[in-house]
Amino acid sequence: MCGIVGIVGKSPVNQIIYDGLTVLQHRGQDAAGIVTIDEGRFRLRKANGLVRDVFQERHMQRLQGNMGIGHVRYPTAGSSSSAEAQPFYVNSPFGIALAHNGNLTNATELRESLFKDARRHINTTSDSELLLNVLAHELCESKLMELSADDVFSAVKRVHKHIRGAYAVVSVIIGHGLLAFRDPNGIRPLVLGQRETEQGVEYMVASESVALDIDGFKLVRDVAPGEAIYITEAGELHTKQCFEGAKCVPCIFEYVYFARPDSTLNDVSVYGSRVRMGEQLGLKIKREWADLDIDVVIPVPETSCDIALEIANELQLPYRQGFVKNRYVGRTFIMPGQAQRKKSVRRKLNTIEVEFKGKNVLLVDDSVVRGTTSEQIIEMARDAGAKKVYFASAAPEIRFPNVYGIDMPSVNELIAHGREVNEIAEMIGADELIFQSLDDLITAVKGDNESLTHFETSVFDGNYITNDIDQAYLESLESARKDNAKKSKSLPLEMGLELHNDE
């Protein structure tokens, strides 16, 4: 997952982009970048690190201009080198910068065809640089210096024909405007907001509505799957559906884990969906564990807290924050390597003994992916004196790789792959383990949004909505991105090739 923002304002936008990226930090902790347009030139700052570390005052001062885009990165393709931090830039036509959330599933073919057919050199292993070059190539069709909204939309239509996978995109074109578009299945989220100022209306697009809230932008609506939004430098808004037959099939894992609870995506409150996940799972626990003697419900901070509270309500049991989270340690699941993830769980969470001693505890997490968290948390609960440790996951068993922007490339890293619930329980050391069913999860996320009928659920059921994923693809993904492969590929930071970077 990554976070993206884009703004066409009436005054300098650097601070708003920075603020937006800060509240999207939970979507990507590896690298951050901002591009603004100042008097016909791009101003760029991007590097590995958290937003607060990447942008110093001197960078912010240089990021002048009333239009710009930003990105926080969680790598799912290529390497984690700073050269693959976003936004990416290409000089022709006009000068374009682009930031992408998602993952392309035909990157290999695109790389070949861009070189052979368009004679375009791609300087990194990033799929997002490919996407930028496909867009640039299609925008070249307009041979004039002018670029109408229709020209832009025709280019996006052709882009949709060439690329496959998941993509929410923001892009700025020098001398013209800001372009945003979402893949035809709407796998990754993208919202549009606006705010009134004395100089006129300002527009903002972002991965999540929370990025709009903090600077006083009002959520207008989601960008529809397949739709493109083009806002000219002067602030005129144009929108167009650029894909015939687009449908809304958002990634369900956004609601389970990725998005912030205070965001609304596809007209569904993430918080509301998590409360309903707790409701559904609470009901299942009542049905299937009627005889269990649970004393207390304890969440595994942070994402599962709203879910666990609702389970406690449903079971009419006390809810206690038995783990304290160190606020200075980030999310462990989106860290790049297993060794780092493993070390971080213990650094991040500590027990409050009194909540465990002599009790039968029900620990609740939003998901069990590699089992890194659950295994250690259960051990900590026992060390703190718990009698019995039961474990509940608000997501079903994750058994299949993700190809759409979540870094789960290898089935062998997934604890539920090829295992039944009792085997998983044994591996993580739980006395009992329960998973939410996929139907219940879907019911919970939909809530009363009747128009949302389908979700991207491949990690649970192995159905890939883009219909282009076969065994050979999954095998090549696994060998390119499994933990060991990543280690051998990543360059030392100082060797990152940083073209057009402003130190």
Contact positions vs ligand PRP (CB under 6 A): 257, 300-303, 331-334, 365-374
Q: Which of 2, 248, 251, 305 is catalytic?
A: 2
Question: By rule CB under 6 A, what string of x and - marks binding of each residue 91-120 to ligand GLN?
Answer: ---------xxxx-----------------
The reply on whether position 351 binds ligand GLN by CB under 6 A is no
- Which of 63, 77, 110, 277 forms a contact with ligand GLN (CB under 6 A)? 77
From the list Mg ion, ligand PRP, ligand GLN, none, partner contacted by residue 332 (C-beta under 5 to 8 A by kind): ligand PRP
- Which tokens go with 90? 């290409």
> H-helix or E-strand containing 218?
strand 218-222
- Which CB atom, from 113 or from 338, has the smaller least distance to ligand PRP? 338
What DSSP string runs through 456-470?
B-HHHH---TTS---
Question: Which whole-number Å values give the CA distances from 260 to 207, 263, 362, in the listed order?
Answer: 11, 6, 24
Q: How far is the CB of 348 from Mg ion (least distance, A)?
A: 9
When the beta carbons of 102 and 184 are compared against ligand GLN, the nearer one is: 102
Check residue 490 and report its DSSP letter.
Answer: P
Task: Give burial (CB, 10 Å; 0-12/13-18/19+) of 498.
Answer: middle
Neighbours of 482 (CB within 10 A): 17
Tokens of 196: 């009134």
The minimum distance between CB 177 and ligand GLN, in angstroms, equals 23
Residues 390-409 binding ligand GLN (CB under 6 A) are 405
Strand order in the sheet with 218-222: 41-48, 31-38, 67-73, 3-8, 200-206, 191-197, 218-222
> CB-wise, 1 or 205, nearer to ligand GLN?
1
Site string for ligand GLN, 19-48 (x = CB under 6 A): ------------------------------
Sequence-distant (≥ 6) Cβ neighbours of residue 162 within 8 angstroms: 110, 113, 134, 138
Residue 351, annotated as binding a ligand: no
Phi-psi category of 113—alpha, beta or left, where left has phi over 0 and alpha has psi -120 to 50?
Answer: alpha
Count of CA atoms in the C-beta half-sphere (13 A) of 360: 10
CA distances from 413 to 3, 416, 417 (A): 25, 9, 8
- Is 366 annotated as ligand-binding? yes
Concerning whether 2 is annotated as a catalytic residue, the answer is yes
The pattern of x and - marking residues 284 through 313 that bind Mg ion according to CB under 5 A reads -------------------x----------
Residue 306 known to bind ligand? no
| Catalytic (active-site) positions | 2
Binding residues for Mg ion, rule: CB under 5 A, are 303
**Binding site residues, as ranges?**
303, 365-366
**Binding site residues for Mg(2+), as ranges?**
303, 365-366
Binding residues for ligand GLN, rule: CB under 6 A, are 1-2, 73-78, 84, 100-103, 126-128, 405
